[in-house]
Amino acid sequence: MERDRKKGRGKGERTSILIFTLLLLLIAAATASGREAERVTDARGKAFSPGPYRRIVSLAPNLTEILFSIGAGDRVVGVTSFCTIPPDAGRIARVGGIVDPDIEKIIALSPDLVVASKNGTGKSAVETLDSLGLSCFVFDVDSAGKVLEAMETLSLLTGMPPEAGKVIESFRSRLLRLRKSTPREKVKGLLLLSVTPPIGAGGKTFIDEVLALAGVDNLLKEETAAYPRLSAEKVVSLRPDYIFITRGMGEREVARFRKTMEALSGNTRIVEVDADLFTRPGPRVLKAVEVLRKVIGRR
Protein backbone atom coordinates (compact mmCIF):
# COMPACT_ATOMS: atom_id res chain seq x y z
CA MET A 1 0.00 0.00 0.00
CA GLU A 2 2.92 2.28 0.84
CA ARG A 3 4.32 1.67 -2.64
CA ASP A 4 0.93 2.53 -4.21
CA ARG A 5 0.81 5.77 -2.21
CA LYS A 6 4.29 6.68 -3.46
CA LYS A 7 3.24 5.97 -7.02
CA GLY A 8 0.19 8.15 -6.53
CA ARG A 9 2.31 11.00 -5.15
CA GLY A 10 4.69 10.62 -8.11
CA LYS A 11 1.87 10.85 -10.62
CA GLY A 12 0.40 13.84 -8.77
CA GLU A 13 3.72 15.68 -8.77
CA ARG A 14 4.22 15.01 -12.48
CA THR A 15 0.69 16.24 -13.17
CA SER A 16 1.29 19.40 -11.13
CA ILE A 17 4.54 20.06 -12.95
CA LEU A 18 2.79 19.53 -16.29
CA ILE A 19 -0.04 21.90 -15.36
CA PHE A 20 2.45 24.50 -14.10
CA THR A 21 4.46 24.22 -17.30
CA LEU A 22 1.31 24.64 -19.40
CA LEU A 23 0.34 27.70 -17.38
CA LEU A 24 3.77 29.22 -17.97
CA LEU A 25 3.45 28.57 -21.69
CA LEU A 26 -0.03 30.13 -21.74
CA ILE A 27 1.20 33.19 -19.86
CA ALA A 28 4.18 33.53 -22.20
CA ALA A 29 1.89 33.21 -25.24
CA ALA A 30 -0.54 35.78 -23.82
CA THR A 31 2.32 38.17 -23.07
CA ALA A 32 3.74 37.77 -26.58
CA SER A 33 0.26 38.24 -28.03
CA GLY A 34 -0.16 41.38 -25.94
CA ARG A 35 3.15 42.77 -27.17
CA GLU A 36 2.15 41.99 -30.75
CA ALA A 37 -1.23 43.67 -30.26
CA GLU A 38 0.55 46.79 -29.00
CA ARG A 39 2.62 47.08 -32.17
CA VAL A 40 1.51 49.62 -34.77
CA THR A 41 1.60 48.84 -38.50
CA ASP A 42 2.31 51.41 -41.22
CA ALA A 43 1.01 51.57 -44.82
CA ARG A 44 3.66 49.07 -45.92
CA GLY A 45 2.68 46.53 -43.29
CA LYS A 46 5.83 47.24 -41.28
CA ALA A 47 5.33 46.90 -37.51
CA PHE A 48 6.57 49.44 -34.96
CA SER A 49 6.53 49.60 -31.18
CA PRO A 50 4.03 52.21 -29.93
CA GLY A 51 6.75 54.42 -28.49
CA PRO A 52 6.37 57.03 -27.20
CA TYR A 53 8.67 58.68 -29.73
CA ARG A 54 10.12 62.02 -28.70
CA ARG A 55 12.20 63.24 -31.66
CA ILE A 56 10.17 63.16 -34.86
CA VAL A 57 11.05 64.32 -38.36
CA SER A 58 7.99 64.87 -40.56
CA LEU A 59 8.39 64.54 -44.34
CA ALA A 60 4.82 65.54 -45.23
CA PRO A 61 2.96 68.83 -44.60
CA ASN A 62 -0.32 67.07 -43.69
CA LEU A 63 1.44 64.87 -41.12
CA THR A 64 3.11 67.92 -39.62
CA GLU A 65 -0.31 69.54 -39.26
CA ILE A 66 -1.73 66.41 -37.65
CA LEU A 67 1.13 66.20 -35.15
CA PHE A 68 0.57 69.80 -34.08
CA SER A 69 -3.22 69.38 -33.98
CA ILE A 70 -3.01 66.53 -31.44
CA GLY A 71 -0.59 68.46 -29.23
CA ALA A 72 2.60 66.69 -30.30
CA GLY A 73 4.24 69.66 -32.00
CA ASP A 74 6.92 69.77 -29.32
CA ARG A 75 8.11 66.32 -30.47
CA VAL A 76 8.80 67.53 -34.03
CA VAL A 77 12.48 68.33 -34.59
CA GLY A 78 12.53 68.46 -38.40
CA VAL A 79 10.14 69.24 -41.26
CA THR A 80 10.21 69.80 -45.02
CA SER A 81 10.40 73.21 -46.68
CA PHE A 82 6.69 72.88 -47.50
CA CYS A 83 5.56 72.39 -43.89
CA THR A 84 4.27 75.91 -43.29
CA ILE A 85 1.16 75.21 -41.20
CA PRO A 86 0.80 75.91 -38.34
CA PRO A 87 3.11 78.94 -38.12
CA ASP A 88 5.10 77.26 -35.33
CA ALA A 89 6.25 74.69 -37.90
CA GLY A 90 8.18 77.48 -39.60
CA ARG A 91 10.58 77.67 -36.65
CA ILE A 92 11.62 74.02 -36.91
CA ALA A 93 14.74 72.78 -38.70
CA ARG A 94 14.24 72.21 -42.43
CA VAL A 95 15.30 68.91 -44.05
CA GLY A 96 14.64 69.69 -47.72
CA GLY A 97 11.78 68.79 -50.03
CA ILE A 98 8.94 66.29 -49.79
CA VAL A 99 10.07 63.96 -52.56
CA ASP A 100 13.82 64.38 -52.03
CA PRO A 101 14.58 65.22 -48.40
CA ASP A 102 18.19 65.75 -47.32
CA ILE A 103 19.13 62.47 -45.62
CA GLU A 104 22.24 63.94 -43.95
CA LYS A 105 20.17 66.69 -42.33
CA ILE A 106 17.68 64.11 -41.07
CA ILE A 107 20.47 62.00 -39.54
CA ALA A 108 22.00 65.09 -37.89
CA LEU A 109 18.74 65.65 -35.98
CA SER A 110 18.98 62.19 -34.35
CA PRO A 111 15.28 61.34 -34.76
CA ASP A 112 13.79 58.27 -33.10
CA LEU A 113 10.97 58.36 -35.68
CA VAL A 114 10.54 59.69 -39.23
CA VAL A 115 6.99 59.97 -40.60
CA ALA A 116 6.50 59.90 -44.37
CA SER A 117 3.74 59.88 -46.98
CA LYS A 118 3.18 56.92 -49.29
CA ASN A 119 2.20 59.14 -52.21
CA GLY A 120 4.47 62.07 -51.42
CA THR A 121 7.81 61.05 -49.99
CA GLY A 122 10.21 59.64 -52.56
CA LYS A 123 10.46 55.84 -52.42
CA SER A 124 14.25 55.99 -52.60
CA ALA A 125 14.33 58.33 -49.59
CA VAL A 126 12.25 55.88 -47.53
CA GLU A 127 14.44 52.95 -48.60
CA THR A 128 17.59 54.88 -47.66
CA LEU A 129 16.19 55.73 -44.23
CA ASP A 130 15.28 52.07 -43.71
CA SER A 131 18.75 50.92 -44.76
CA LEU A 132 20.31 53.31 -42.23
CA GLY A 133 18.29 51.74 -39.45
CA LEU A 134 16.04 54.75 -38.87
CA SER A 135 12.42 54.09 -37.90
CA CYS A 136 10.44 55.40 -40.90
CA PHE A 137 6.67 55.12 -40.52
CA VAL A 138 4.80 55.52 -43.83
CA PHE A 139 1.22 56.83 -43.87
CA ASP A 140 -1.33 56.56 -46.69
CA VAL A 141 -3.78 59.39 -46.00
CA ASP A 142 -6.20 59.62 -48.93
CA SER A 143 -9.56 60.31 -47.27
CA ALA A 144 -11.13 62.01 -44.26
CA GLY A 145 -11.41 58.62 -42.61
CA LYS A 146 -7.69 58.03 -43.13
CA VAL A 147 -6.98 61.45 -41.59
CA LEU A 148 -8.81 60.26 -38.49
CA GLU A 149 -6.79 57.02 -38.49
CA ALA A 150 -3.54 58.98 -38.84
CA MET A 151 -4.53 61.18 -35.89
CA GLU A 152 -5.18 58.09 -33.77
CA THR A 153 -1.95 56.39 -34.85
CA LEU A 154 0.24 59.44 -34.27
CA SER A 155 -1.44 59.94 -30.92
CA LEU A 156 -0.46 56.39 -29.96
CA LEU A 157 3.09 56.81 -31.30
CA THR A 158 3.57 60.00 -29.27
CA GLY A 159 2.16 58.61 -26.03
CA MET A 160 -1.30 60.20 -26.15
CA PRO A 161 -0.67 63.93 -25.55
CA PRO A 162 -3.27 65.37 -23.10
CA GLU A 163 -5.37 67.18 -25.72
CA ALA A 164 -5.23 64.40 -28.33
CA GLY A 165 -8.35 62.56 -27.18
CA LYS A 166 -10.52 65.67 -27.30
CA VAL A 167 -9.19 66.71 -30.72
CA ILE A 168 -9.73 63.24 -32.19
CA GLU A 169 -13.28 62.93 -30.84
CA SER A 170 -14.14 66.39 -32.14
CA PHE A 171 -12.89 65.45 -35.62
CA ARG A 172 -14.79 62.15 -35.48
CA SER A 173 -18.09 63.79 -34.52
CA ARG A 174 -17.72 66.54 -37.16
CA LEU A 175 -16.99 63.95 -39.84
CA LEU A 176 -20.02 61.90 -38.81
CA ARG A 177 -22.20 65.01 -38.82
CA LEU A 178 -21.02 66.01 -42.30
CA ARG A 179 -21.58 62.51 -43.64
CA LYS A 180 -25.12 62.42 -42.25
CA SER A 181 -25.93 65.85 -43.66
CA THR A 182 -24.50 65.31 -47.15
CA PRO A 183 -26.88 67.08 -49.58
CA ARG A 184 -28.96 64.71 -51.69
CA GLU A 185 -29.32 67.19 -54.54
CA LYS A 186 -25.88 67.88 -55.91
CA VAL A 187 -24.45 70.55 -58.16
CA LYS A 188 -22.03 69.59 -60.93
CA GLY A 189 -18.46 70.72 -60.56
CA LEU A 190 -14.73 70.03 -60.58
CA LEU A 191 -11.59 71.28 -58.89
CA LEU A 192 -8.51 72.37 -60.83
CA LEU A 193 -5.02 72.49 -59.38
CA SER A 194 -3.69 74.17 -62.53
CA VAL A 195 -5.26 76.13 -65.39
CA THR A 196 -2.34 76.09 -67.88
CA PRO A 197 -2.97 73.35 -68.72
CA PRO A 198 -6.09 72.50 -66.74
CA ILE A 199 -5.30 69.66 -64.31
CA GLY A 200 -8.17 68.42 -62.20
CA ALA A 201 -8.80 66.11 -59.25
CA GLY A 202 -10.26 62.76 -60.28
CA GLY A 203 -12.15 60.11 -58.36
CA LYS A 204 -9.03 58.51 -56.88
CA THR A 205 -8.25 61.48 -54.64
CA PHE A 206 -9.31 62.74 -51.23
CA ILE A 207 -10.51 65.89 -53.03
CA ASP A 208 -13.24 63.78 -54.64
CA GLU A 209 -14.52 62.93 -51.15
CA VAL A 210 -14.40 66.59 -50.12
CA LEU A 211 -16.50 67.52 -53.15
CA ALA A 212 -18.99 64.71 -52.48
CA LEU A 213 -19.43 65.63 -48.80
CA ALA A 214 -20.00 69.24 -49.84
CA GLY A 215 -22.76 68.28 -52.28
CA VAL A 216 -20.72 68.53 -55.48
CA ASP A 217 -20.90 65.80 -58.14
CA ASN A 218 -17.28 65.58 -59.28
CA LEU A 219 -17.40 65.53 -63.08
CA LEU A 220 -13.92 63.98 -63.18
CA LYS A 221 -14.67 61.07 -60.86
CA GLU A 222 -14.66 58.52 -63.72
CA GLU A 223 -11.24 59.58 -65.02
CA THR A 224 -8.64 56.82 -64.80
CA ALA A 225 -5.87 59.21 -63.72
CA ALA A 226 -5.94 60.61 -60.20
CA TYR A 227 -5.11 64.07 -61.56
CA PRO A 228 -6.08 64.12 -65.24
CA ARG A 229 -4.74 66.71 -67.65
CA LEU A 230 -7.56 68.40 -69.57
CA SER A 231 -8.18 70.89 -72.36
CA ALA A 232 -10.32 73.99 -72.03
CA GLU A 233 -12.76 72.43 -74.50
CA LYS A 234 -13.00 69.30 -72.35
CA VAL A 235 -13.78 71.37 -69.27
CA VAL A 236 -16.53 73.25 -71.12
CA SER A 237 -17.99 70.03 -72.55
CA LEU A 238 -18.58 68.77 -69.01
CA ARG A 239 -20.94 71.72 -68.44
CA PRO A 240 -20.06 72.28 -64.78
CA ASP A 241 -22.09 74.50 -62.50
CA TYR A 242 -18.92 75.30 -60.57
CA ILE A 243 -15.20 75.25 -61.30
CA PHE A 244 -13.06 75.53 -58.18
CA ILE A 245 -9.45 76.58 -58.76
CA THR A 246 -6.74 76.64 -56.11
CA ARG A 247 -5.14 79.99 -55.32
CA GLY A 248 -1.48 80.52 -55.98
CA MET A 249 -1.58 80.42 -59.78
CA GLY A 250 -0.49 83.47 -61.74
CA GLU A 251 -3.08 86.24 -61.93
CA ARG A 252 -2.71 86.47 -65.73
CA GLU A 253 -3.18 82.71 -66.12
CA VAL A 254 -6.35 82.77 -64.04
CA ALA A 255 -7.65 85.85 -65.90
CA ARG A 256 -7.11 84.16 -69.28
CA PHE A 257 -8.80 81.00 -68.04
CA ARG A 258 -11.80 82.98 -66.80
CA LYS A 259 -12.06 84.79 -70.12
CA THR A 260 -11.92 81.50 -72.05
CA MET A 261 -14.58 79.91 -69.85
CA GLU A 262 -16.86 82.94 -70.10
CA ALA A 263 -16.56 82.92 -73.89
CA LEU A 264 -17.36 79.22 -74.16
CA SER A 265 -19.80 78.89 -71.29
CA GLY A 266 -21.43 81.80 -69.51
CA ASN A 267 -23.28 79.68 -66.95
CA THR A 268 -20.32 78.31 -65.04
CA ARG A 269 -19.29 79.97 -61.80
CA ILE A 270 -15.52 80.02 -61.16
CA VAL A 271 -14.47 80.13 -57.51
CA GLU A 272 -10.94 80.38 -56.13
CA VAL A 273 -10.20 78.32 -53.00
CA ASP A 274 -7.25 78.03 -50.62
CA ALA A 275 -4.65 75.69 -52.11
CA ASP A 276 -3.31 74.36 -48.80
CA LEU A 277 -6.81 73.68 -47.51
CA PHE A 278 -7.77 71.64 -50.56
CA THR A 279 -4.52 69.83 -51.30
CA ARG A 280 -3.47 68.61 -47.85
CA PRO A 281 -5.42 65.69 -46.34
CA GLY A 282 -4.99 66.82 -42.77
CA PRO A 283 -7.01 68.05 -39.79
CA ARG A 284 -8.50 70.97 -41.79
CA VAL A 285 -10.04 68.72 -44.45
CA LEU A 286 -13.48 69.08 -42.87
CA LYS A 287 -13.16 72.87 -43.04
CA ALA A 288 -12.70 72.46 -46.80
CA VAL A 289 -16.08 70.68 -46.95
CA GLU A 290 -17.72 73.46 -44.93
CA VAL A 291 -16.19 76.15 -47.18
CA LEU A 292 -17.62 74.52 -50.31
CA ARG A 293 -21.04 74.06 -48.72
CA LYS A 294 -21.11 77.77 -47.93
CA VAL A 295 -20.09 78.67 -51.50
CA ILE A 296 -22.83 76.61 -53.12
CA GLY A 297 -25.42 77.46 -50.49
CA ARG A 298 -25.62 74.04 -48.83
CA ARG A 299 -25.26 74.08 -45.04
Residues 55-113 have pLDDT tens digits of: 999 999 999 999 999 999 999 999 999 999 999 999 999 999 999 999 999 999 999 99
What are the DSSP E strand ranges found in 60-205?
76-79, 93-94, 113-117, 136-139, 187-195, 198-200
Q: Give yes or no: residues 165 and 282 share one domain.
A: no
What is the per-residue pLDDT for 25? 42
Residues 151 and 233 in one domain: no
Q: Give domain status of residue 7, yes or no.
A: no
Given this model, what pLDDT does residue 236 score? 87
Residue where a domain stops, chosen among 148, 178, 208 = 178
Mark whether 93 and 199 lie in a shared domain: no
The amino acid occupying position 253 is E
What pLDDT sits at residue 8? 54
Q: How many domains are contained in the chain?
A: 2
Q: Would 219 be classed as within a structural domain?
A: yes
Task: Say yes or no: 173 and 229 in one domain.
Answer: no
Give pLDDT tens digits for 243-256: 999 987 777 888 88
Quick one: 186 and 238 in the same domain? yes
What DSSP assignment string belongs to 146-188? HHHHHHHHHHHHTT--TTHHHHHHHHHHHHHHHHHT--SS-EE
Alpha carbons 220 and 286: distance in angstroms, whole number = 21
Same-domain pairing of 115 and 194: no
Per-residue pLDDT for 5 more than 80?
A: no
Is the model more confident about 4 or about 29? 4
pLDDT digits (tens, 9 = 90+) for 41-53: 999 999 999 889 9
In a domain, 15, yes or no: no
- Residues 165, 195 within the same domain: no
Say what the pLDDT of residue 161 is: 87
In a domain, 1, yes or no: no
Q: Given pLDDT bands bounded at 50, 70 and 90, which one contains residue 268?
A: confident
Domain hosting 158: range is: 47-178
Residues 267, 273 contacting (CB under 8 angstroms): no
Tell which phi-psi region holds residue 239, choosing left (phi > 0), alpha (psi between -120 and 50) or beta. left
Based on the fold, state whether residues 159 and 117 are members of the same structural domain: yes
On the question of pLDDT at 167 being above 90, the answer is yes
The CATH number of whichever domain residue 291 belongs to comes to: 3.40.50.1980
Indicate whether 119 and 161 sit together in one domain. yes
Mean pLDDT of the chain: 87
Whether residue 131 is predicted with pLDDT greater than 70 in this model: the reply is yes
pLDDT in tens, 192-232: 999 889 999 999 899 999 999 999 999 999 999 999 999 98
- In sequence order, the β-bridge partners of residue 114 are 57, 136
Asked whether residue 18 is assigned to any structural domain, the reply reads: no
Domain termination site, one of 163, 178, 193? 178
